[in-house]
A and B are shown apart, each in its own frame.
Chain A
Amino acid sequence: MCLGIPGEVIEFLPDQPDLARVDVSGVKRVINVGLLADDPPEPGEWVLIHVGFALSKIDESEAAAALEFLEGIGQAYADELAALQESRIE
């Protein structure tokens, strides 16, 4: 919850510019990118997501490292991914 999880931006939702579909470890869900409005990510770029909101842009190597770190935490990340899977904010 406190640690950000990396997601790759796939696309922005039509008519809802603050929402984007991202891929987090194969789970594709919609998140809010409104807090990056000053420098919005492009599709294909990576963001660090905290409880449904992107808080920073990161590069691909950082995303890989962050993912590896989270997978090392074990059950907590599995639980977070399961929660993300259930998330429907759009």
Chain B
Amino acid sequence: MRFVDEFRDADKAHALAAKIAALCAPGRQYKLMEVCGGHTHTIYKHGLEDYLPESITLVHGPGCPVCVIPMGRVDDAIHLASQPDVIMTSFGDMMRVPGSQGSFFDAKAAGTDIRMVYSPLDSLKIARQNPDQRVVFMAIGFETTTPSTAMTVLRAAAEGLGNFSVFCNHVTIIPAIKAILDSPDLRLDGFIGPGHVSTVIGCRPYEFIAREYGKPVVVAGFEPLDILQSIYMLMVQLSEGRTEVENQYTRVVPWDGNLAALNAINQVMELRPYFEWRGLGFISHSAMRMRPDYASFDAELLFQVPGVRVADPKACQCGEVLKGVLKPWECKVFGTACTPETPIGTCMVSPEGACAAYYNYGRMNRHRVVEVSIS
């Protein structure tokens, strides 16, 4: 515990909180977005908003990779998994995400061969062991998992493995942040930048936020003091009228990211013209697909994919939550029809989702929620 205590010292937290409060201009309201779901988790687990003056509001961003998968892609994946001789492999996080006809778990219970794996490399092994079947890996995630998929495809290509492919749903965080900045719904003052995504992409990709939108960004670690320190760094910038990208998480995040990982992604994948995000709609150049050189590993080319669009359930307001327009508890079905056990919306599925974080730690001043039916 000696190690951990240095990130959780209550005296240090109160001292930081006092310094943050001293930087608030009288009468001004500040809205700071934490992009990453891991940060949302820390904020609610440790009640960090209680340390902050009322003039600072933390707004939760879209950085939960499971939360942004639209229902249509879940349906497409289940369609792929139902094809003859197909074994679909997926991270466990994806299993409970609802499609319009149910989740992976539901499909698996109905006899579809969907297997949970820890790593895409496990899918490769399943492909080697089942040469008469076609293994499709359900690839999801931001830049933290994209390099792993790319490295796995490179490995499959080197081995000449013909029965392995990827249903690619990898998304990129920068266009999502840009979509939020361009949204008229929300005025933000600064960003707490994602920690682990930045180990791959580094800090430079955020520079446009400071340069073109005039908002400061501080890449942050996941400990309570990391986040308070990052808020302090943002407030210093705002009080001095500076807008820059700063790195609070230098003990893990290199300024230039992981070049080997970026090269692997770039070798295997390219940006799609557009991709649908749950709740956010279509965003240009916001997701990856296989390059033509690796077409033989692209499940979307090897199989007929219906490509259906499914509207989110009417009662579900994940889109507003993902954009930070609504607090989770302001959603009509939060905690009543939508719970971690029976999620309607993706934000309630993943522990990194803002709704699940709120629900699990009960940190809300919510009004009495009226039970609303799903339809």
Contact = CB atoms under 8 A, between A and B. Distances in A.
Interface of A: 1-4, 31-32, 34-38, 48, 50-53, 55-56, 58-62, 64-66, 68-69, 72-76, 79-80, 83-84, 86-89
28 contacts: A1-B65, A1-B66, A2-B142, A2-B352, A32-B151, A36-B258, A36-B260, A50-B147, A50-B148, A51-B141, A52-B121, A56-B254, A58-B252, A60-B3, A61-B3, A64-B4, A65-B4, A68-B4, A69-B223, A73-B351, A75-B351, A83-B117, A83-B118, A86-B118, A87-B118, A87-B122, A89-B119, A89-B125
Nearest to A73: B351
Interface in B3-56: 3-4, 6-7, 37-38, 41-42, 45
B119 A62 contact: no
A32 B38 CA distance: 24
Given A34-B151, A56-B252, A58-B252, A4 B199 contact: yes
A53 B37 CA distance: 21
A72 B352 CA distance: 12
Contacts of B197: 2
Contact of B351 (A34, A38, A66, A76): A76
Contacts of B91: 1, 51, 83
A48 B118 contact: no
| Top 5 A-B residue pairs of the complex, sorted by shortest distance between their CB atoms | A52-B119, A64-B3, A83-B118, A89-B121, A87-B118
B119 A87 contact: yes
Interface residues of B, number: 53
A84 B45 CA distance: 25
B261 A55 contact: yes
A32 B122 CA distance: 12
A2 B122 contact: no
B260 A35 contact: yes
A73 to B, nearest CB: 5
A66 B252 CA distance: 11
A66 B222 CA distance: 8
Nearest to B42: A69
B125 A88 contact: yes
A37 B264 CA distance: 12
A46 B55 CA distance: 40
Given A48-B252, A55-B144, A2 B260 contact: no
A56 B260 contact: no
B92 interface: yes
Given A65-B7, A89-B122, A79 B252 contact: no
Interface of B: 3-4, 6-7, 37-38, 41-42, 45, 63-66, 91-93, 116-122, 124-125, 140-142, 144-145, 147-148, 151, 196-197, 199-200, 221-223, 251-254, 258-261, 264, 350-352, 360
Contact of A58 (B38, B147, B251, B351): B251
| Most chain B C-beta atoms within 10 Å of own C-beta, residue among A32, A52, A76, A80 | A52
Given A2-B144, A50-B147, 11 more contacts: A1-B65, A4-B196, A38-B260, A48-B199, A51-B91, A52-B121, A56-B253, A74-B360, A87-B118, A88-B125, A89-B122
A53 B118 contact: no
B148 A52 contact: yes
Contact of B251 (A32, A59, A73): A59
Contacts of B253: 56
A22 to B, nearest CB: 12
B69 to A, nearest CB: 12
A62 B251 contact: yes
A55 B196 CA distance: 9
Contacts of B41: 73
Nearest to B142: A2
A66 B93 CA distance: 19
A66 B41 CA distance: 13
B225 to A, nearest CB: 10
B147 A55 contact: yes
Nearest to B37: A2
A32 B4 contact: no
A44 to B, nearest CB: 16
A9 to B, nearest CB: 16
B263 to A, nearest CB: 9
Nearest to A89: B121
